[in-house]
Structure 1
Amino acid sequence: MWQGWEVETWDRSLREWYQRHGRALPWRKTTDPYAIWVSEIMLQQTQVKTVIPYYYRWLERFPDIPTLANSPLQLVLKQWEGLGYYARARNLHRAAQKVVEDYQGVFPDRFSDVLSLPGIGRTTAGGILSAAFNQPISILDGNVKRVLARLVGLKTPPKKAINQLWELSDRLLDRDHPREYNQALMDLGATICTPKQPSCLLCPWRDFCYAFQSNLQTQIPMREPSTPLPHKQIGVAVIWNDQGEVLIDRRLEEGLLGGLWEFPGGKIEANETIPDCIKREIKEELGISIEVGDHLITLNHAYTHFRVTLNVYHCRYLAGEPQPIECEEIRWVKPEQLSQFPFPKANTKIIDAILNQFNSIV
């Protein structure tokens, strides 16, 4: 199956298709490895149309690696606010500091050096080095896995055949035109070989594709059996003092939503009311006593591995000195100051509800 002339034919047909139909994305107008790196990280877990405005704003605020490295993490997280998966922003910041420290602020062009940077795996390293330096390094993101699985009629879910798919990606790589090839392969998966209802008749590889020839596009790639996501009920406190300030805390640096600010609270235990949960959590996390008041808002939000319902209540501060027992720091702030801090997406909706009520009263 893998005679040289066939691979060359496939590569040529894909490149010709890309030259006619490839997407005109902003990061493809540059060979600056920093700008390409930023796009690669943003595109992890996030759609292109969402990334583009963030990409422009990011490069305007952090135009080069030294600027990013020397910026406070809170500013970096604020710039990232709304993109989700905040570990990506923290890793970008740490990696920029490593590039400044180890490579004098110049993004490295060796595969092993790029792989050593926080937040960069094999596919991301290949995407950066092929796009920035035209190096012949293969990639295997979600789109590429789907294309290759259909191409060869993969009989197992891609997660169980990663080594086989990497070998195939390496074998098919157009080593004379790696930049174009990798970008074409990603575009093929994003625009033609889509998860549902692929446009097979427009595909340059349809004559070589096992799934198309066998009419198995909807069965390949095979899927792992899915399990329901755990659903957590959370009690959240908007705590007011007599000066009209709200108490917020900054999450621990590592872990989910690390370094972001939030309204304190926690998981509702079995047979526990929402007010009892909120009072208990605030005592455990901040060491203060509060009175739970009116309901503010209820929000549903989904993360990768679980879903949450946030039950948010106004609360009145009663006694005790607030302490950062289970967080990095705490602050009393005026409602109009809340927008200055980086919050998770669900918390920004709480802020909107606070401001709407606050403004209607004022």
Structure 2
Amino acid sequence: MRRPDRHHAAPLRVLVVDPALGEQALPELIALEGLGMKPTVNLRRVNDASLRARIEADWETVDFDGFAEEELARQLEHCGRGFDALKCRAGIPLTRKVLERATAGGLERRLVLVGRAAAGTDTIDLVAAQRLGVSVRTTAGVNAGAVAELTVSLMLDALRDVARRDRNLRAGAWSSAVEGLPASSLDGARVGLVGSGAIARRTAELVRVFGAEVWVFGSLRFTAERAADWPGRRVETLTELLTGCDVVSVHVPATAETEGLIGARELRLMRPCSVLINTARASVVREAALDRALRDPGAGPARAAVDVFENEGAVFSSPLADNPYCTLSPHVAGMTAGAMRAASDRLLEEFGRFVGEYP
């Protein structure tokens, strides 16, 4: 593949903590060079041996755990050389301490740009970044369709008991597989969305196709005027939504205001036989509280499906792991080929704008 000419006299050093998945990695790295950047690529999450070899042949590489705070800080210092920019996909721990070490005065290069090919910034200390002069760019909204698609899939699984029936059939237990019929359905159900962003809106559009009624409890910005063109009814309180809906789906970011938004008290408000879906952030719905509620017929929803956890990756653990009433998904809602390509493209556009303004 022919690389475009670099237009920056002194290439900005960029640490690519995790490149785009699969074959998307190569055009992404070439595009970074085209923007006047010199990538150093972390191979820790590149599993394909052929792809690793191709990256190693053309770019400087490292191999470290990007989720380990000390390792990340040490790589950003890079023996005093430092980096101008960092690119990632995952929620790596860009804490105050990491950012301070990456912008220390003794480094040849100090960090000025962080880009994440995803929407969330909950693992980035934005206050510290602003204080230290580090610009943070994300790709909010580009994966809305992908996340909404999995959200609806999980709703259907919870309502129709797909995963349980599959397990029973594989075990040769036909009679167990057909228990719980007739099943519930999105047709005629009332779906409550906690959140009013792009993902919630796309989810609303999809479930309406199935014949569901939609209620929405949004942020303070979700006024009656803004809700007027929504495919759903705006409700004033979370309590109204929880008590009035058959399916509740969470679509809010992890912030101080949303931490523990749905705990034991809120779960008890939900209808008997209702379903809870969380494809947002683990901090919004307390895992332990959800686990207890699902095991107690009188304490909340009958079924749940969860795509986000407090402890993910190699250290995955959750009280929901052995809960028979919950379907688990390994934080993959936005990981479709189309969504990830769009996120990479959007982030490259953000980097391009930054480089165009950089002295």
Per the normalisation by structure 2, the TM-score is 0.23
Per the normalisation by structure 1, the TM-score is 0.23
Structure with the greater alpha carbon radius of gyration:
1
Structure with the higher fraction of residues in helix conformation: 1
* Greater relative CO, 1 or 2 (CA 8 Å, sep 6+): 1
